[in-house]
Structures are given as structure tokens and as C-alpha cells.
Amino acid sequence: QKSPEQAETFMLDYLQRHAITDMTLWKYLADWQVGQKRLTQALQTWQQHEATFGASNQTRLARLQVLWELKDKEQAKAVMASLENPVLAEMTPYQLEILAELHWQNKDYAQAQQYYSHLVQTITEKTPVATRTSYYTRLAETQKEQGDDPGALQTLQSAWQATHEPDLLLNALQMAM
């Protein structure tokens, strides 16, 4: 019986020995490592893949996600800066959230607004209430930070009308004062 660590070692050796360029297998390994809370190893997996085959936005986004999980915001910001014309449709909602938050922290409100606008468009009936409220609120905050108070208020009012979430109405009232 092989241990999970032995399986991980075997797979990594196999990927390297046979110069496997198929991202699917590398992603499978890194995702498994993340699921096992082996975040440092997942980061190393992506770094090894990039060192061998070169970096792409997909690998950079994967590293960004692992760095975020490791709470290494400075390295995550460095990876964010290395993204080359990222395509929103190619990102997971979680990656969009990370980028939106990093841009917010950098006070790059225009870019954060772009990501939060896209996230708002991904909201469905199944989206948790806290997530919906967070997206709409942060979108309104990015508008307000850019001097668009009426737009921010409109965002929250529209969000409240669409969802009837009391927190959104409270946020709108606070913003109006």
C-alpha cells in the first residue's frame, strides 16, 4: 500500500521525467496538494512547471491562488503584476475575487471595479447571501472611491431590489448619509 506522499512523489517524478506539458496533469497534482493542505508543495509544483515549460496566465493564476491561500500577499501582488492581459472569462470566480481584493488593497479602484463588476454578473440563486452582499458592497465602494457616489448608491439600490438582502439596504442608507 502506497502512502499519499509516495503517490505524489511518483506523479511529480513521472511528470518531470517524461516532460509532460499537458497542464491538466500538473493541475491535478497541484489541486490534490492544495486539497491536502500541502500548499508549499503545490506552489513548488507550479514553479517547477513554469521553470520547465514557461509561465502562462493560467500557471500564474494558479500560483496566485496558492500564494493567497498561503497568505503571502506580497508575492501574490508580484504575480498579479506579471499577468499579461488577463481574460476574465478564463478565470475562476475565486481567482477573480483574489484579483479584485488585491487591486482594492493597492487602491487600484478602477481595476478592482472591473473585477467586482464581473463577479456581480456571475451571481446566481445559488450564490451564498454573504458572497452576494460582499460583491455588491465592494463594487459600490470602488465606485465611491472613484468619486461616483450616485453610481455607488444606484448599485446598492439595484442590488437590494434584486436580492432583498437587508445588509445591502443598510449599506445604501449608510452611503447616502
67 neighbors 44 (Cβ within 8 angstroms): no
Dihedral through CA 99, CA 100, CA 102, CA 108, nearest 10? 120
Give mean pLDDT, residues 35-44. 92
74-114 pLDDT, tens digit each: 999 999 999 998 888 889 999 999 999 999 999 999 999 99
| Predicted local confidence at residue 25, as pLDDT | 83
Give SS3 for 177: coil
Please indicate whether residue 157 or residue 17 has the higher confidence score (pLDDT): 157
123 phi and psi angles, rounded to 5 deg: -65, 135
Burial level of 107, CB count in 10 A (0-12/13-18/19+)? exposed
Q: How far apart are alpha carbons 12 and 25 in whole angstroms? A: 10
| Predicted local confidence at residue 1, as pLDDT | 66
Give mean pLDDT, residues 60-79. 96
Residue of 143, 72, 70 whose CA lies nearest to 104:
143
49 neighbors 33 (Cβ within 8 angstroms): no
pLDDT surpassing 90 at residue 67: yes
